[in-house]
Amino acid sequence: MKVVVVYESMFGNTKTVAEAIAEGLHGAGEVTVGSVDDLSPDEAHEAALIVAGGPTHAHGMARPNAHRSLSASSRQKHPVLPGEESLRHWLDRLPAGHAVVAAFDTRFDKPRILTGSAAKGIARKLDAKGYSVLDMESFFVEGGDGPLVDGERERAVAWGNELAGKATPAEIPAPAGG
């Protein structure tokens, strides 16, 4: 089974979570992990399982210009990962499909009603394109730029392993006409 884990990350927290999820998915098949700048939507479209994630900003997915709009003081305090593409735009360019998908985000460790959730918006965009949403999960950071709360990397590995068990080939819908 081909699995793609794609993410948008500014301070490295979401990248760390994505890599941990990919580690947990290792037994599921051929796993590719990369940022929205590294992986094309067409490459992900070929996967049987797509796991997509990004940071929660202003109660939802980061805006397309979020990387560029970070203040100079934020950039001096904490290094910002390179990147131009946004997960929002990447999902807009992803062709409609039939794969199983999961969505994740990084956000403050507070009730979702207070923080919002990028995972919810990611799942909604994927569902609208015909993908079957398997699961959603949030991973927690201590501050807007991190670090991850203790134990979150390990929890991401476990969630990846759980997804691998849920996304067996029998669970994956056949492509239309196939």
Following DSSP, what letter does each residue of 99-154 receive, concatenated? -EEEEEEEEESS-HHHHB-HHHHHHHHHHHTT-EEEEEEEEEESSTT--BPTTHHH
- Angle (CA) 25 28 34, round 5°: 50
Give a yes or no: residue 155 inside a domain.
yes
Number of domains, the chain = 1
- Mean pLDDT estimate for the chain: 87
| Whether pLDDT at 69 is above 90 | no
DSSP code for 65 = T
CATH of the domain at 58: 3.40.50.360
Compare 161 and 111 and report the one with higher pLDDT: 161
Question: What range does the domain containing 116 cover?
Answer: 2-171
Q: Which two tokens stand for residue 22?
A: 């990919």
Give a yes or no: residue 176 inside a domain.
no
Give a yes or no: residue 153 inside a domain.
yes
- Confidence band (pLDDT; 50, 70, 90) for 60? confident
| Whether pLDDT at 119 is above 80 | yes
User: Read out DSSP for 1-47?
Assistant: -EEEEEE--SSSHHHHHHHHHHHHTGGGSEEEEEETTTS-HHHHHT-
| Whether pLDDT at 145 is above 90 | no
Give a yes or no: residue 36 inside a domain.
yes
- The whole-number pLDDT of residue 57 equals 83
- The whole-number pLDDT of residue 176 equals 46
Give a yes or no: residue 16 inside a domain.
yes
Give mean pLDDT, residues 37-56: 94
Of all residues in the chain, the percent with pLDDT exceeding 70 is: 82
Question: Torsion angle, CA of 48/163/109/116, rounded to 10 degrees?
Answer: 40
Specify the amino acid at residue 160.
G
Give mean pLDDT, residues 101-108: 96
Give a yes or no: residue 12 inside a domain.
yes
Q: Which two tokens stand for residue 18?
A: 């994505």
Give a yes or no: residue 73 inside a domain.
yes
Helix (H) or strand (E) holding 66: helix 66-69
- The whole-number pLDDT of residue 177 equals 46
